[in-house]
Amino acid sequence: MAEKTKENSKSTVLVLGGCGNFGKRISRALAGSGVPVIVAGRNRHRAEALACELPNARAADFDVSFEFHTHLQRLRPAVVVNTCGPFQTSDYRIAESCIEEHVHYLDLADGRAFVTGITALDSRAKAKGVAVISGASTVPGLSSAVLERYGSEFSEIGFLRFGIAPGQQAERGLATTEGVMTYVGRRLKPFSGIGRSVYGWQDLYRQGYPEIGKRWMANCDVPDLDLLPAHYGIKRIQFSAGLELAPLHLGLWALSWLVRAGVPLELARRAGLLLRASDWFDRFGSPHGGMHMLMRGRDSQGRPHERQWFIVARDGSGTHIPTVPAIILARRLVSVAPVEAGAYPCVGLISLDEYLEELKAYPIETFSYTARDGRGQQRH
């Protein structure tokens, strides 16, 4: 497919990493809903192959690390969606180029410092009249949507324990693996309600999920640890993630102790090897995963109150969940829907109803329980 280089479309979305685990799903969803898409990747053949499958799509092949500003001037999109992690080791050059060229910017960053620090670009983004939104993914996109829905039940949330547990057979990306490996066994920056040192992939516990059973969980470093207490007044917070297979989860936990002890394992540099080794175990796992949010506090009358919320994704559909905020926000930015100019994290920007509407085609269910009545509500 020949790449067009001088088209100026007010509705085109450029998806960086458009052939990757999340990028290809965003490209398909946007193109399928009539939004013109440029699928960008370093591998020309992969980008062109995906673009040929989609309506309203074309391909571009380049490395975002080199002369991105030049590529942006040539392609002239209305919105850039950046899926090129790991964001734990990234800077803001892509977002800065977008601001300079009056292009809206979204990313799926899960790097804590990266997402919380995006506000450093706020004045520049406002001056250019563009939106620069970081963390347009499960955290804090979905986690804040759940709090927006159920937060009114509480006069205060004393403790939020939440986490993500993907299925072993669900598709995994290298960038996500690299991101996690940057903090395994390392001391995390302090966060709300924790009066001790916390280390990545430690503090094990078992979390039960509706229908898919229990999963091991361990500490992860995400933007929500800073953003949600500040935005929703949460007193204490804990975020964890879990691997479905206990040998893999506990094996990584053992490695975290070696890193904590000072052994120079450089796990992030070995992420590719670890990912390939993990793939070998797929036959022993399932494609089913989930997310939990357990909120405890007091209701409007000062009585103890607890809300438990789960989302369970079957048959590998969980990989669609992180893409939803970027899809919804990209559509808004190319339509007449108002989006605030400035640079800010993706907190409270999407309602839970919007989120679930985007997922209705997939085998995904939500469950919500209160401790008071013990009843649950379920959505098919």
Question: What is the CATH number for 299?
Answer: 3.30.360.10
Does residue 37 contact residue 56 with C-beta atoms inside 8 Å? Answer: yes
Same-domain status, 370 and 275: yes
Does residue 241 contact residue 180 with C-beta atoms inside 8 Å? Answer: yes
| Global model pTM greater than 0.95 | no
What are phi and psi for residue 227, nearest 5 degrees? -75, -45
Question: What is the CATH number for 333?
Answer: 3.40.50.720
Same-domain status, 264 and 330: no
Same-domain status, 94 and 156: no
- Please indicate, yes or no, if residue 275 is contained in any of the structural domains: yes
Same-domain status, 221 and 269: yes
Same-domain status, 124 and 248: no
Mean pLDDT for all residues in the chain: 93
Same-domain status, 79 and 195: no
Same-domain status, 255 and 348: no
Same-domain status, 224 and 182: yes
Q: Tell me, what's the pLDDT at 173?
A: 86
| Domain range for 228 | 139-318+362-379
Q: Tell me, what's the pLDDT at 374?
A: 53
Residue 90 has pLDDT above 80, yes or no: yes
Same-domain status, 96 and 239: no
Cross-strand bridge partners of residue 160: 237, 295
Same-domain status, 345 and 331: yes
Least confident of 11-20, 59-68, 190-199, 200-209: 190-199
Q: How confident is the model at residue 377 (pLDDT cuts 50, 70, 90)?
A: low
- Please indicate, yes or no, if residue 290 is contained in any of the structural domains: yes
- Please indicate, yes or no, if residue 4 is contained in any of the structural domains: no
Same-domain status, 210 and 269: yes
- Tens-digit pLDDT profile for residues 161-215: 999 999 999 998 898 999 999 999 999 999 987 878 999 999 999 999 999 999 9
What's the number of domains the chain is made of? 2
Q: Tell me, what's the pLDDT at 293?
A: 98
CA distance 77 to 200: 38
Average pLDDT for 124-146? 98
Same-domain status, 240 and 311: yes
